[in-house]
Structure formats: C-alpha cells, structure tokens
Amino acid sequence: MILQVFLLSSKGDHLIYKDFRGETDASIINIFYEKVVALPGDQPPIVMYHDGLHLIHIRQGGLYFVATSKSNLSPFTVIEFLNRLAALIKDYCGALSEKTVRMNFALIYELLDEMMDYGYVQTTSTDILKNFIQTEAVTSKPFSLFDLSNVGLFGADTQQSKVAPSTAASRPMLTTRGDQGSKNEIFVDVIERLTVVIGSNGTLMKSDVQGEIRVKCFLPSCSEIRIGLNEEFSVGKSQLRGYGTAVRVDECRFNESVRLDEFENYRILKIHPSHGEQTVMQYQLYDELPLAPPFRLFPTLERDPTGRLLVYMKLRCDLPPKSSALNVSLNLPVPKGTLSMSQNLSSPDQSAELQQSSKSIQWDIVRFPGGSQLSAMFKLEVPGLSSASLLEVGPASLSFELPKHTCTGLQIRFLRLSISQPALPQRWVRYVTHSDSYTIRI
Amino acid sequence: MVKASATVDIVQKKLVYLYMCSYAALKPDLALLAINTLHKDCADRNPMVRGLALRSMCSLRMPGITEYIQHPILMGLRDKAAYVRRVAVLGCAKMRNLQPDAEIVDAALVNELYGLLRDPDPVVMVNCLRALEEMLKQEGGVVINKPIAHHLLNRIKDLDPWGQSEVLTFLLRYTPRTEEELFDILNLLDDFLHSVHSGVLAATICLFLRLSSAHPAVQADVLERARGPLLSASTAQCRELRFAALCHVQQILRSLPSLFAEQYKKFFCSYSEPNYIKFRKMEILIELVNDNNVAVILEELRAYCTDISPELAQAAIFAIGRIGQNYSEKCMSILTSLLGLKQEHITSAVVQMFRDLVWLCPQCTDLVCQALVDCEDYILDSEGKQALIWLLGVYGDQIPNAPYVLEDIIDNLKTEATPLVKLELLTATMRLFLVRPAETQDMLGRLLHYCIEEESHMAVRDRSLFYYRLLQCGVDETRKVLGSIKSDPFLGGIVSQQQEPVNNWASDFNSLVPIYGKNQWEAIKSARGSMSLSTEEQEEVQPDLPGFEETEQEATTSSSKAVHFEPCLSTSPPISPLSFEQKWLTLQPCRQVVVSWEEGDCAPNILQDALSHSNICALAFSKPHTWPWKAYLYSHGMNTLILAELLLNSSTDSLQITVKQEKDNKEAVDSFICVLEKVIEMMKSSKT
C-alpha cells in the first residue's frame, strides 16, 4: 500500500502532502527533494530508496508527484495511479501547474481523500468522484470541471513540447458561461505521435506511429455515444478491407468500457463516456507509413577556402498542400569547437541561432505549408577544422505539430449521441500529429 | 475548529475533518472533543456524511480512540450505502493497527469481513481483502481457498483496474488443484493480457507465469502473447511508465532473448528521451543482437556515439564493444573510425573497448595495434590511460612507438594523480623492457627511482620495490614471472550467458526488483533486515493502555465533556517516590478543590484500582483509620505532569484536593480534576 502522497513544485516547495497511514513523518519530503536534485542525469530517478521507504515519483507539468511505500509493490500500479491523479487534477482544475495546484489545494485534498483510503486506491473514476466532489465545485472555485475556458486541450503533451498546441487557438470561445446549456460539449481527439528515423542516404529506417483517440466529455448527462471510424480501417497485416487506400494499424487496444459489438462489421465504437478526459482507443503502426514522411532534409556540408564550415540545408515539407506544419524546430549538432555562426535564411518567418551550451543550431519555423521548401545557409567558424569534425555534424532532429492530420489516415466518420439531448450538444472532432522523435541522419 | 465541524456545509465539514485528522496526533485532547459531532454525523441521513465521518474518525490516529470507533464501524459494516461499507471495512484494519498489542483478532469481525467478500459492491469486496490481509498479518494474511478464489475470479470483471490488479496479486496465493482448473483460470483471465492499464497487464503476466510454473511452454506462450502490450507500454507516452516497462522487458530477455528480436527497432532511442531511458534501451539492444539485425543495430548505436552527452556517447561505445565480443569485425571497423573524431571521451572509451576486445577476441590484435598509433594525445581520463598503457605493455613489440609514448607519460609522472595509472605504468614498462630492452632501460630506471624515492602511495611503492628486486634476480626470472601463461578468458564468467529459467524471476515480476536491479535490491533487503530487527525490539516496550469497561459504557451514554479527556492521561513514565517528593516541594499549588465526603475512610486498594483505570497513579497512601488521611497521586497529560494530594478531613467531612503541575496547562488540570471527581463520585456510589 501507499503510505504518503505528496506534490512538490520544481523548486521543491511543498504543495500537497497527505499521510494516509501515519507510519512515517513528513521529513521525507525534503529528503526526496535533496535526492532527486542531486541525481546525475544518467541515473534512473523514478524509484529511490531511503531508510526503508521506496519513493516512486513521476514528473508532470513541472511538478513532482511522489508516492512512498514500505512494501515491494507494483511499480506500474503506482505510476498509473500518480498519472491518474495528475489527469484528475487537470480535469478538475483545468490545467496542471504549480499555480492551479496552489489555488485548488482544498479541492485536491478532497480528491485525494476520496481516491485513496488508508493507502488503498478506492476509486479514480470521474463519474463516481463527481458525486463527492461536486458539492465543492458549486462553491465558486476559481476552476472547476465545468469551467471550460481553462481546460487545456492537449495538456498531457506539454511535457515534451513547450509550445502551446496549435489547436488551442481554434477552440471556440464560450458565449455564456455558467449557463447549463452552453456546457453541452463533447470533444473527440485523435492524437498521433510520430517516430521516424531517416538514414543518411534518405531511406526510411524506422517509422512508428503511436495513436490514441481521446474523448473529453462535458455533457451534463452522458448517454451512449457512437464513434464511427473509417470503414476501411483494419488491424494487423492479414486483414485488408476495401479496395481504396486501406487505413491499417498493427495493434489496437480499447478501453474496457468500450463496446465493440459493431466494430467488426461497421467499425463503430460505442461508449458511455464519463466526465472529463479518457482514452478510448490506443493503436500502433510499425514501419509502414501509408504516406511519405512529412519532412525531408537535404543537407550539404562543405569547407570553404577560409576554413569555415558551410552547412546548407534544404527542408521540404511533403504534406498535402492544404495542410501545414506548425512550430517546426530543427536541431542540428555542430562540431564542439564551433565559435560563431552567420546565417542566411530563405524567408523572413524563420529564425535560427547557435546554442552555445549544447553546440547545436536551432532552426525555428513557425508555419510551414505543405508542399513548400525552405532553405538555410549557415557559416560556422570552427578553428582547426578537420575532416573528422564533419562527422560531428548531425543527426538533425525535428519537432513539430501537424494539426488536422493523421499519419495513419484514421478518420472519425461520425460522432452520434444516442438519445435526444435537451439541447443538441456541440461535438468537436480534432486531429493532431506530434513528433515524438523525428531524426534525420546526415 | 471542533465547533466548526458541526456545520451542515459539507465542504466546510470536509476541510475541518481533514484538518483534524492531520493534527489529532499532536493534540489528542482537542480531537476528542470532536468525537461527539463525528458520532452524530455517523448517523446522518446522507451516506456521504456518514462515510466521511466514519473515515475521519478512524483516521484520528491517537491512543484510546478505538473504544469510540468500534461501535460506528460495526454499524457501518451493515450500512445500506456501499460508500459507508467501504469506509467501515478499511476502518476495521485501522482499528486493528491502532491497538497492535491486542493479541487476539476479533474472530466475529474477521468472519463478518469474510462474509462481506460477497458484498455486491466491488470496492467493498477488494477493501475486505485488504483489511483482512492487514488484520491477519501475523497468521500470514488472508486465506484464498477454492470458493474465495472462484468467487474473486467471477467478480474480477466488475472491478476497476486498481481492484483488478490487486485481486490478481491476491490470487497468486491460490494453487489450482487440477490442470483443468488451471487452464480454466488462464482462459478466463486471458483478456487481461491485453488490458490498457499497465498495472493490470503486469499483474496478469505475473499471475500467469506463477500459475504455469510447471509448464515452461505455457510460460513462453504467455510472454509471447504479452509481447505486444509490453511493447506498447515501453513506448508509452509517460516516460516513467516507459522506464518501468523497459526494466521488465530486460528481465524477460534474460530468459527468452529471442522474444523481442523482431521488434528491435522499438528499442531505438528517440532524441527527446531522457538519458536513463536511453541507457536502458541500449542495454536491451545488446541483448537483442542476432545475425539478421546486427548491421542495423550497430549502425544505430554508431549514431549515438556522437551524442552531446559524453556519458551517453561512451555508453554507446561500450555497447558496441560488448556486441564486438561476438561480431568483432564489424565492431572493430566502427570503433577505429570513431578514433578519427579525435575527441577525448570517445577515444578513451574506444581504447577501453580495445583492451577488452583483444582479451576476448585475440584475432583483433593486429587491427588494434594499427589503430592505437597517435591516439595517446586524446586520452586524458585515468580509465582511458590505464587501458592504453596496458595495451602498450602487452603488445609493445607490435606497436612501433610504444616506448616513446610510455616515456612521455613517465616524464609527466609528477602530475599524475591516480595510483592505478601508476601501477599500470609500472607493469607495462616492465613488460616492454622484456621485449625492447634497449629503448626502455633508461626510462624504467627513472620510473623505478621516482616511484621508490618520491612516491607517497604505498601500493605503488611496494610494487616498484617488488619489480626492482625481481630485476635483481635476473632477466630470466623476471620473464618467468611477468610472461607466464595467461588465464583463458573463456573460462571466466564474462562470455558465458546462461539463459535463466523463467521461474527464477517470475516472483519478482511486477515489483520494484527489476527497477532497482538485483544487486541494489539485495543491498536494500539486507539493510532493511537489520533495521526491522531493531524496530521489533522497540515495539515490545510500547506501553499498553488499559481500557476500563465502565467508563467506556459511560462514554457512549453520557455526553459529559470530561470523559473525552480521560484517555489523554497516562501513568507512564512512572515517577519514583523520591522525585515526586522533590517536585511536590518545589512546585506551587495551582488549584484546590474541596469535595464533600461523608463516609468514614476508604479502602486504599479500591481507590488505587479505580484511579489506575483512569490512568492516574496513586503513589502513596496513609494507612486506613489514620487522621488526617492523605494520598498522593500523579498523572501525565498534555505534555505536563500533574501531581495531587488528597486530604481527608474527618472534622469537616470533606476531601480536599490540592493539585500542582510541572508546566502550566489549565486544560490539563481541568480534565484531571474532572476525572478525579468522577472517580470519587463512583467510589461514593459504590459504597452506598
């Protein structure tokens, strides 16, 4: 069982501390922080040990979520629990940050109180918890489950991409707040993470897609909804459907609450969504992208007569012309001896700089339309440039965000709510692809 | 605060109770005041309030609370609302842990809990298991017999993932009678192998592996089926989860190295991952290498060698070196090409790998000797230097400039800080002297002179003295000692990698062991072993808290404030009569109370008994029938020591109580007098 749960800010401030069993004291918080800060980068910090206590923690939203235990329990369960706690805080408080946690400490204590008793998980379902917490939400908390304007859309992804997701901007503003009718919304998000390695000769060495369908429900009463996927959607290699471009994934897992009786024939998922966010389906695609990878890089390395290193890069975006990539950022390691850099970029909406701490070039493109091509020329001042230094250049890694695009081609055909709601709820379907790791060898 | 808890506003109530639970242990007397309100709330119409009150009451961690919570818990177990029952079931465990010295577990309660395993609410059922587990800890935990196991298996689909993973863990205790039953269980639980919840997934794998411990083929099949879910867990978005899954994958690979061989690309590092995950992935990649994928994996590892983080780059080079033990040619070409980068950390790591490789694969010696030329300028750290010096010593005859490299190092010996490098240097120079005496003699002399005369490190000095004396015995003797037969590397445990049987680690699956790693876990276990011994000793001297049945009845029937204070008094630690006397004489009386007392005298033993039940110790009495009759009492409470004198004055028919205390605490005195008056009241009524 779990003995204590506590939340720390990245600076080590105590935000939340709950002792479930009274077997240990609060001094462990400071010990934890000292330990976690002192860890060298290559040490796995997830489980630490101090004086009979196992400290298991995760980091989300810049906060440490820590659970302590004396027994040898399942790491998966504890990590899942802490993740769930973070997700619930996000659901109830709108976002996950030091500030929201500070402002809602009472609500979070209340949550913890209902989620866990004597170190045992009682329930983490939003539906059940809502009954106990709802009273709280009425007392005009600054943030609540239904206060839509604070809901982060892809909050979970902020861990790796510091930029605000592009789809956040396209969210509709609520006209009237606090009115029951206007809270009638449901979001279905298809989120894919793309991992690609392109070899130095341009061949695709690895391409994986991790996708999930998330439902975020703000309906006052949740009835069954039906989500229709592409009819040609198929799982596994053997099974191909239709004659058009098949949408194929290798592996697919569903939330337990999803009913699949119409999935086999009509590709329809039936689900009773609970309030807040939940993952309905997770899927993976290995090594076979239906489309070309979204970016291609054509680099040239040259030594000019004055001893400078010339890096000429052409970056092509292979998306369909209508869509575009946002917040593209290319990172290219350069020789360690590099002193300075001069640049020549093809268009004004880009920027580039040499990062001295990591000795790499950071090339940022805010918006990159599909089918277009950008180029950049960097002149690097490297004393003692040798042919070996050229080996130090690369690999280039890209991070980006592709709104309204899925790499597998998965689409939501329709989203139907079964029984007639008093007012027709607003339904939103959104697609986004994030780069998990997009590497181009040079 | 206590008054505030009487509010009807649930939010306020929750916060007040939360506050009370946190501070009850510090101020037990104040928390006692709240018991009444809590009792009242336990009978509220709203099940949420009932549950909340019961949970808070059970969570007040202070001595003596048990007598107040027993009744509400029993009521709660039979409550209509599942929410209250959940709380009540765990309340049983809390109550049990609050009175650890009680020897016998209430059998009726245990039976009731076993009965509640059939409760319609799934969480109540799981909580019953948890509570029973804690209450029956001394008897080895909850018993899972066939009916219970089957009941749990039937209900497991109704549970939430947390309950499922816990029940799956409890089921580990059950051994099916027949093979048929075993396979029925496996079939029933098969769906859980594809659970989205990694906790359930891991618990299922663990259960399956343990159940089928006698059937290795089934185990392999289970792992095969779990491969996909495990892979997606090891590519999960949450990096902590990813790491935990990778650790478990690594464990599986120890037994079934081929299981993930096809999916080796899943274990390529992505650039956004933190280093600890990358390290783990590289370790896995080493295990996955086979004839088909070796080229791709080496190419991938080669790309990591130029990583910005020197530690990561070195780890990648070491990984290539490890693979080189089986695929030496391909690795040698990569390693030699890396030398061209002329970077310190890379060169150092490569040379270290060269040393290990020539030891295990003598066929690479020529290549290594060619590659070693010119790399001495780029090695600055001591591990790299040791490796280089060793290589120069052993293969000095094949490396043309070996003596000159060593000479450089010898000339700069004063700046060398690490004794290990010096030891290595001594041996290498000696070896080189044997093969190329003309070039080495002079510098060997300088080296020995320096090490004997100026070196402060004992091991280095002793070693050089040893070599010096060895040389005095003659070159042939030296050659015999230094150039004798080397041990065969294949005899050592370096290369042999036995495939471990699954059952070796099946019990550690889904626990912290794979994450800590075996060695660290052993260390933790041994540290804890010694610690738990010492805590056991401490537990034995815990003071026991006598319960007084009469007062308990009164507590439930009367609403007198004083009763609630009672348990906060205690008679320990005891005070000797001498120190009592000293204190009595130095302290000032802080309160005097007179009670009427008509009866003649009182029997001291009755008084003593009655007082000790109220946690007041009677230290000394006058003999009966002496006038004036006196008694001296003391008690601890609320961080203060209270001393009292009873003086029975026959002429006025009154009993005079004089109270003194060590630290000023008005409340403590109040409560003490209340208790005392009560006892006297009882004495009187018992007499009449």
Whole-number pLDDT of residue B531: 52
Taking CB atoms and an 8 Å cutoff, what residues of chain A touch B311?
41-42
Please give the Cα distance from A366 to A351 (Å, whole number).
9
CATH match for A4-129 among 1.10.20.60, 3.30.450.60, 1.10.260.40, 1.10.10.10: 3.30.450.60
Q: Which H or E run contains A297?
A: strand A295-303
Choose the mutation target among A17, A47, A117 for the interface with B, i.e. most B CBs under 10 Å.
A117
The residue among B457, B489, B521 that closes a domain is B489
Shortest CB distance from B232 goes to which of A120, A282, A360? A282
H/E/C letters for each residue in B166-215?
Answer: HHHHHHHHCCCCCHHHHHHHHHHHHHHHHCCCHHHHHHHHHHHHHHCCCC
The residue among B473, B489, B505 that closes a domain is B489
Question: Per the CB < 8 Å rule, is A437 touching B195?
Answer: no
Q: What is the pTM of this model?
A: 0.75
- Relative to beta strand A63-69, strand A4-9 is antiparallel
AA letter at B583:
K
**Does residue B34 surpass a pLDDT of 90?**
no
The residues in B 143-162 lying below 8 A from A, measured between CB atoms, are 160-162
CA-based nearest residue in chain A for residue B47: A132
Whole-number pLDDT of residue B542: 35
Give the tokens for residue B677: 């008056």
Every domain of chain A and the residues it spans: 4-129, 153-291+405-440, 295-403
Q: What is the pLDDT of residues B403-443, one digit of tens each?
A: 888 888 888 888 887 888 999 899 899 888 888 888 888 88
Whether B483 is in a domain gets the answer yes
Which has more pLDDT, B528 or B245? Answer: B245
Report the range of poorest mean pLDDT among B15-19, B105-109, B255-259, B477-481: B105-109
Shortest CB distance from A206 goes to which of B55, B197, B268? B268
Q: Are B31 and B24 in contact (CB under 8 A)?
A: yes
Give the tokens for residue A140: 């005009």
Question: Per the CB < 8 Å rule, is A251 touching B232?
Answer: yes
Interface check B663 vs A, CB under 8 A? no
When pLDDT is averaged across residues B65-80 and rounded to a whole number, the result is 85
Please choose, from the candidates A234, A229, A245, A248, the residue with its C-alpha nearest in 3D space to the C-alpha of residue A414: A229
Residue whose structure tokens are 């002193």:
A339
Taking CB atoms and an 8 Å cutoff, what residues of chain A touch B309?
41-42
Whole-number pLDDT of residue B529: 64
Q: Which H or E run contains B218?
A: helix B216-233
Whole-number pLDDT of residue B105: 64
Question: Per the CB < 8 Å rule, is A118 touching B93?
Answer: yes
Q: Are B105 and B75 in contact (CB under 8 A)?
A: no
Give the tokens for residue B684: 């009187």
Whether B596 is in a domain gets the answer yes
CATH of domain A153-291+405-440: 2.60.40.1170
Taking CB atoms and an 8 Å cutoff, what residues of chain A touch B189?
none
Taking CB atoms and an 8 Å cutoff, what residues of chain B touch A397?
271-272
CA-based nearest residue in chain A for residue B94: A118
Question: Per the CB < 8 Å rule, is A22 touching B93?
Answer: no
Give the closest-approach CA distance of A266 to chain B in angstroms. Answer: 22
Shortest CB distance from A253 goes to which of B169, B196, B268? B196
Residue whose structure tokens are 């794998």:
B205
**Does residue B316 surpass a pLDDT of 90?**
yes
Please choose, from the candidates B188, B139, B192, B190, the residue with its C-alpha nearest in 3D space to the C-alpha of residue B165: B192
Q: What is the pLDDT of residues A247-265, one digit of tens each?
A: 788 888 888 788 888 888 8
Q: Are A383 and A303 in contact (CB under 8 A)?
A: no
Residue whose structure tokens are 């194929």:
A248
Q: What are the Cα distances from residue B328, in Å, to A48, A259, B215, B367, B664?
A: 38, 54, 38, 11, 82
CA-based nearest residue in chain A for residue B159: A123
Which has more pLDDT, A302 or B376? Answer: A302
Question: Per the CB < 8 Å rule, is B244 touching A79?
Answer: yes
Please give the Cα distance from B390 to B428 (Å, whole number).
6
- Relative to beta strand A185-198, strand A426-440 is parallel
Report the range of poorest mean pLDDT among B27-36, B201-210, B294-303: B27-36
CA-based nearest residue in chain A for residue B51: A114
Whether B426 is in a domain gets the answer yes
- This model of the complex carries an ipTM of 0.79
Give the closest-approach CA distance of B636 to chain A in angstroms. Answer: 23
Please give the Cα distance from B655 to B644 (Å, whole number).
12
H helix count then E strand count, chain B:
33, 6
Which has more pLDDT, A4 or B141? Answer: A4
Give the contacts of B605 (CB within 8 A, at least 6 positions apart).
none
Q: What 3-state DSSP class applies to A155?
A: helix
For chain B, what is the mean pLDDT? 80
Please give the Cα distance from B634 to B619 (Å, whole number).
7
Please choose, from the candidates A194, A210, A188, the residue with its C-alpha nearest in 3D space to the C-alpha of residue A283: A210
Whole-number pLDDT of residue A138: 33
Whole-number pLDDT of residue B495: 46
Fold matches, A4-129 and A295-403: no
Whole-number pLDDT of residue A181: 40
Shortest CB distance from A113 goes to which of B18, B93, B306? B18
Q: pLDDT band at B486, cuts 50/70/90?
A: low
Question: Per the CB < 8 Å rule, is B87 touching A359?
Answer: no
Give the tokens for residue A177: 């707040």
When pLDDT is averaged across residues B494-498 and rounded to a whole number, the result is 51
User: How distant is the alpha carbon of residue B293 from its chain centre?
Assistant: 39
Whole-number pLDDT of residue B27: 78
Whether B609 is in a domain gets the answer yes
What are the residues facing A153 on neighbouring strands?
none
The residues in B 308-347 lying below 8 A from A, measured between CB atoms, are 308-309, 311-312, 315, 340-343
The residues in B 72-91 lying below 8 A from A, measured between CB atoms, are 86-87, 90
Please give the Cα distance from B628 to A151 (Å, whole number).
79
Please give the Cα distance from A266 to A413 (Å, whole number).
11
Whole-number pLDDT of residue B552: 36
The share of chain B scoring above pLDDT 70, in percent, equals 84
Whole-number pLDDT of residue A146: 40
Question: Per the CB < 8 Å rule, is B341 touching A392?
Answer: yes
Q: What 3-state DSSP class applies to B87?
A: helix
CA-based nearest residue in chain B for residue A236: B228
Whether B578 is in a domain gets the answer yes
Give the tokens for residue B655: 């009993």
The residues in B 512-541 lying below 8 A from A, measured between CB atoms, are 512-513, 515-516, 520, 524, 528, 531
Residue whose structure tokens are 């946190």:
B22
Shortest CB distance from B512 goes to which of A72, A135, A358? A72
Q: Are B640 and B569 in contact (CB under 8 A)?
A: no
Angle (CA) B226 B232 B234, round 5°: 100
Please give the Cα distance from B71 to B95 (Å, whole number).
11
Q: Are B203 and B164 in contact (CB under 8 A)?
A: yes
Whole-number pLDDT of residue A72: 86
Whole-number pLDDT of residue B623: 66
Q: Are A378 and A345 in contact (CB under 8 A)?
A: no
Give the helix ranges, DSSP H, for A24-151. 28-38, 75-93, 98-103, 105-115, 126-138
Give the tokens for residue B646: 């009873």
CA-based nearest residue in chain B for residue A48: B516
Whether B660 is in a domain gets the answer yes
Give the tokens for residue B656: 């005079």
Whole-number pLDDT of residue B538: 38
Please give the Cα distance from B278 to B246 (Å, whole number).
10
Q: Which H or E run contains A326?
A: strand A324-333
The residue among B489, B504, B532 that closes a domain is B489
Please give the Cα distance from A191 to A176 (Å, whole number).
29
Report the phi/psi class of residue A42: left, alpha or beta, with left for phi > 0 and alpha for psi in -120 to 50.
alpha
Q: pLDDT band at B493, cuts 50/70/90?
A: very low
Interface check B194 vs A, CB under 8 A? yes
Whether B227 is in a domain gets the answer no
What stretches in chain A show pLDDT beneath 70?
41-44, 133-183, 221-222, 237-246, 419-423
Whole-number pLDDT of residue B485: 59
Q: Are B610 and B682 in contact (CB under 8 A)?
A: yes
User: How distant is the alpha carbon of residue B332 from its chain centre?
Assistant: 43
Whether B204 is in a domain gets the answer no
Q: Are B64 and B569 in contact (CB under 8 A)?
A: no
Please choose, from the candidates B621, B641, B643, the residue with its C-alpha nearest in 3D space to the C-alpha of residue B630: B621
Give the contacts of B498 (CB within 8 A, at least 6 positions apart).
none
CATH class of A295-403: mainly beta
Taking CB atoms and an 8 Å cutoff, what residues of chain A touch B238?
58, 79, 83
- Relative to beta strand B589-596, strand B640-649 is unpaired
Strands of A373-381's sheet in order across: A295-303, A309-317, A373-381, A340-345
Q: What is the pLDDT of residues B635-669, one digit of tens each?
A: 777 677 788 887 777 666 777 888 887 777 777 77
Write out the residue range of the structural domain in which residue B475 sits.
357-489
Question: Per the CB < 8 Å rule, is A256 touching B296?
Answer: no
Strands of A412-417's sheet in order across: A268-271, A225-229, A412-417
Question: Per the CB < 8 Å rule, is B340 touching A391?
Answer: yes
Whole-number pLDDT of residue B686: 64
Burial class (CB in 10 A: 0-12, 13-18, 19+), B32: buried
- Relative to beta strand A4-9, strand A53-60 is unpaired
When pLDDT is averaged across residues B675-680 and rounded to a whole number, the result is 78
Give the tokens for residue B557: 């029937």
Please give the tally of structural domains in chain B: 2
Q: Buried b / exposed e across A9-32, counting CB within 10 Å, b at 16+?
A: beeeeebbbbbbbbbbeeebbeeb
Whole-number pLDDT of residue B670: 79
Interface check B302 vs A, CB under 8 A? no
**Does residue B24 surpass a pLDDT of 90?**
no
When pLDDT is averaged across residues B64-86 and rounded to a whole number, the result is 86
Q: pLDDT band at B164, cuts 50/70/90?
A: very high
Question: Per the CB < 8 Å rule, is B48 touching A132?
Answer: yes
Question: Per the CB < 8 Å rule, is B270 touching A439?
Answer: yes
H/E/C letters for each residue in B124-167?
Answer: HHHHHHHHHHHHCHHHCCCCCCHHHHHHHHHHHHHCCHHHHHHH
Please give the Cα distance from B4 to B13 (Å, whole number).
7
Please give the Cα distance from A130 to A145 (Å, whole number).
9
Please choose, from the candidates A184, A166, A438, the residue with its C-alpha nearest in 3D space to the C-alpha of residue A289: A438
Whole-number pLDDT of residue B604: 61
CATH code, B605: 3.30.310.10
B628 preceded by cis ω (within 30°)?
yes
Please give the Cα distance from B684 to B679 (Å, whole number).
9
